[in-house]
Amino acid sequence: MPIEPTPDDVRRYITSGLDCSHVEIEGDGRHFSALIVSPAFEGRTRVARHQLVYAALGERMREEVHALPMRTLTPTEYEAQSK
């Protein structure tokens, strides 16, 4: 039986393939939720932002992570919602 990833593993997978200024991951080993803040999201649609995250996860998205609802924000958007 494969070892299920932890939220820290998923955070590391994402940040190893995407420049992020903030990442929050919650989950139970197979189903996770994420808040991801990256300057790479600037000027991109929500779908394009999610595609960047999926690309960073690569095959892990299919093999280890089975659900990942996410909020993807630019640093400016994140700062504005934090006020």
For the stretch 60-81, pLDDT in tens is: 887 788 788 999 999 999 999 9
Domain count, the chain: 1
> What are the tokens at 78?
């994140």
CATH number of the structural domain spanning residue 16: 3.30.300.90
Domain membership of residue 1 (yes or no) is no
Q: What is the pTM of this model?
A: 0.90
pLDDT digit string (tens) for 1-46? Answer: 567 889 999 999 999 999 999 999 999 877 899 999 999 999 999 9
Q: Residue 2: inside a domain, yes or no?
A: no
- The residue range of the domain holding 49 is 7-82
Give Cα separations from 1 to 4, 27, 32, 57, 64 (angstroms): 9, 19, 19, 21, 12
